[in-house]
Amino acid sequence: MPRVTERVGTYFAVIEVQPPGTAKLVWKDEGGRELSRVPKHVIKTYPERYREVRKKLDSIRNTLKVQTKRIESFYVDDPTMPYEVWREHYAEHKLVKSISESLIWQFRSGSRAHTAILRDGELVAADGSRLPTLARSTRVSLWHPLHSDGAEGASWRRYIGDHAVAQPFRQAYREVYRPGGETGLNEVLSGLYVRQHQFRALLLKTGWRYQFRGRFHSESTPVLACPGGMRCEIGIGNTSSSVSQKGICLGAELDGFQFYRGEKQLPAEAVPPLLHSEVLRDIDLATAVSGIGYRGDWDNIETLFSELGESKVLERLASAKGWTLPAFARMVDSHPLGKAMVRALAVLDAAMERKPIPETVKTRGLLLEAMLRVSPQADRTRVQGRYVYVDGARGSYRINLSSGLVFDCKDNTLVGVGTTRARDNEDEVETDTLLTRIHETIVELCPP
């Protein structure tokens, strides 16, 4: 992997670029010994040189971030390139290589197609075998699970896990939405209330346009411009009566989605399969994070939502150091809205049961299975449907993979909301903080 070395006085600043497209700064003395922190002598004596090194590190990190987003955008543009072009600009490029070698690529020549990943400069298939010499006419594209059957996708997920490959974005475990699956997602979205601020923030990160709805504006619709003159719109129905200080509605009700070309509605079959899958993924990921509950359940939580804010109630109902049965029971009993919130959460969980399982939840289950397979909790947990079942130290529990809510299997009562320590990046689409919370809850229930 490339590295940049800068001499600063009697020390050396080494910027190392590593898979999957990350850069770190390491300081070394003249003897080559790595230091645990920036030498004080450098900061005091060479402040300008130190700032230059930090600026160069930031520049490299920004370049890697831009290149990562550009490569992921291949899923929308769906380009192919000659093998020689791919080799020069991706496999051997001094910076982009750190991203490319963590990804799975598809190589096609005539009717023959192979998928492979770069390992030490060699192309390796999911079974560990090396690819044969490729013809000059070979075309290369970024592999997507949609391009393969379930067996190949499972093989690559095993390979990624067995070889501890960190990918720059979700690929082997990427959610797939095949034509015809939009009916299920539309059913999940229909009548779903979302936290409008968070919903909008998540959509904007993936290229959508959407203005807040509130007292000042009530006609805005989320829109994504797509290649080929197409667009996708998400319907917005009712909005909550609860508003922020700026008059923005805190909650908004969704009413499905639709593809268009001009004013003409398009059936799913008229949308390129890869574009269709990626757009539905945007919607599913955004609603999975920002969703609150369904139309019939909104009355159960609107008052709580407006008076305290759902997140504050959840934080108070959970132990500051993590999930514990006694702490949860004490918080429910002592908080004036505790019991009402527990009832509302139980209603929301029951409502989810009546809806199809979203692809985001299925993927979270696959990721959790891979994490638990190599953990001390492997023989005391199992993932089934939208729940992970846990044989804990104090009883048997099920944890909802959609919400993180914890239920006692014996009497089906809500006994916890999961740990709340992992709350950073809650507006990030790719960062699944709920998966981290669920895993931490399992560790709390089943100490090693």
Write out the chain's pLDDT in tens, 448 residues: 678 899 999 999 999 999 999 999 999 998 889 999 999 999 999 999 999 999 999 999 999 999 999 999 999 877 899 999 999 999 999 899 999 999 999 999 888 889 999 988 889 999 999 998 888 889 999 999 998 888 899 999 999 988 989 999 999 999 998 877 666 778 778 888 888 888 999 999 889 999 988 877 667 899 999 988 999 999 998 777 677 778 888 888 898 899 999 999 998 889 998 999 999 999 988 888 787 766 555 444 445 445 444 444 444 433 333 334 444 555 555 655 566 666 666 666 666 676 778 888 888 899 999 889 888 899 999 999 889 999 988 889 999 888 788 888 887 777 776 544 434 444 454 557 778 888 888 888 888 7
Give me the pLDDT at residue 335, please: 57
The one-character DSSP state at 168 is S
Reduce the secondary structure of 347-401 to three states and give it as a string.
HHHHHHHCCCCCHHHHHHHHHHHHHHHCCCCHHHEEEECCEEEEECCCCEEEEEC
Q: Which residues contact 69 (CB under 8 A, 6 or more apart)?
A: none
Using a 10 angstrom Cβ sphere, with 0-12 exposed, 13-18 middle and 19 or more buried, the burial of residue 324 is middle
Q: Which residues are bridge partners to 298 per DSSP? A: none
Greatest Cα pair distance, the chain, in angstroms, is 72
User: Which residues are 312's β-sheet partners?
Assistant: none
- φ, ψ for residue 341, nearest 5 deg: -70, -40
Element of type H or E holding 232: strand 230-239
Q: Please choose, from the candidates 188, 353, 178, the residue with its C-alpha nearest in 3D space to the C-alpha of residue 285.
A: 188
- Range list for CATH 3.30.310 in the chain: 182-296
- Label the pairing between strands 3-8 and 104-109: unpaired
In sequence order, what are the beta bridge partners of 383? 388
CA 211-247-342 angle, 5° bins? 95
pLDDT at 421: 41
Helices and strands in the chain: count of H runs, count of E runs: 15, 19
Token pair of 48 as six digits: 């300008």
The DSSP bridge partners found for residue 112 are 109
List residues bridging with 109 in a β-sheet: 112
* DSSP 8-state secondary structure symbol assigned to residue 89: I
> Whole-prediction pTM value?
0.77
pLDDT at res. 191:
80
Residue 288 CB contacts under 8 Å (≥ 6 apart), including other chains: 358, 360, 361, 402
The correct CATH number of 182-296 out of 1.10.10, 3.30.2450, 3.40.50, 3.30.310 is: 3.30.310
DSSP assignments along 276-327, one per residue: HHHHHHHHHHHHHHHEEEEGGGHHHHHHHHHHT-HHHHHHHHS-TTS--HHH
- Please, are residues 437 and 431 in contact by the beta-carbon 8 Å criterion? no
Collapse the DSSP code of 197 into the 3-class scheme (helix H, G, I; strand E, B; otherwise coil) and give the result: helix
